[in-house]
């Protein structure tokens, strides 16, 4: 779907508290999250503008976004599982 917002909070609502915590307490997570959201914004802007870039470039941006999302998801899941185990 074009111009779909892939913000972490929308794609992983079950990890909302984890996203907030990690963004506040973990600079590494915060930096990756910021990079992810900026990349997602750039992709959406290209889609709105009718993709004024070639398919190869758009594909590369989306692959990069997916890879960042996977890294962030792994960190979210690990933090969530750890929090559940300690409670």
Q: Is residue 67 part of a domain?
A: yes
Q: Is residue 3 part of a domain?
A: no
Whether the pLDDT of residue 2 is over 70: the answer is: no
Provide the pLDDT for residue 50: 76
Q: Is residue 70 part of a domain?
A: yes
* Residue 31 structure tokens: 């930096």
Residue ranges of alpha helices (H) inside the chain are 8-11, 16-25, 27-48, 55-86
The number of folded domains in the chain is: 1
Report how far residue 73's alpha carbon sits from residue 8's, in angstroms, rounded to the nearest whole number. Answer: 9
Over residues 63-87, the mean pLDDT reads: 95
Q: pLDDT tens digits for 5-63?
A: 899 999 999 999 999 999 999 999 999 999 999 999 999 988 888 767 788 998 999 99
Q: Is residue 36 part of a domain?
A: yes
Q: Is residue 77 part of a domain?
A: yes
Q: Is residue 2 part of a domain?
A: no
Q: Is residue 25 part of a domain?
A: yes
Q: Which domain holds residue 28?
A: 8-86
Over residues 59-79, the mean pLDDT reads: 97
Provide the pLDDT for residue 52: 74
């Amino acid at each position: 779907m074009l111009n779909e917002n892939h913000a972490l909070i929308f794609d992983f609502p079950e990890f909302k508290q984890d996203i907030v915590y990690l963004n506040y307490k973990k600079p590494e997570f915060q930096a990756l999250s910021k990079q992810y959201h900026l990349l997602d914004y750039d992709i959406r802007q290209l889609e709105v503008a009718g993709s004024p870039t070639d398919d190869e470039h758009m594909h590369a941006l989306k692959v990069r976004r997916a890879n960042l999302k996977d890294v962030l998801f792994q960190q979210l899941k690990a933090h969530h599982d750890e929090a559940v185990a300690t409670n």
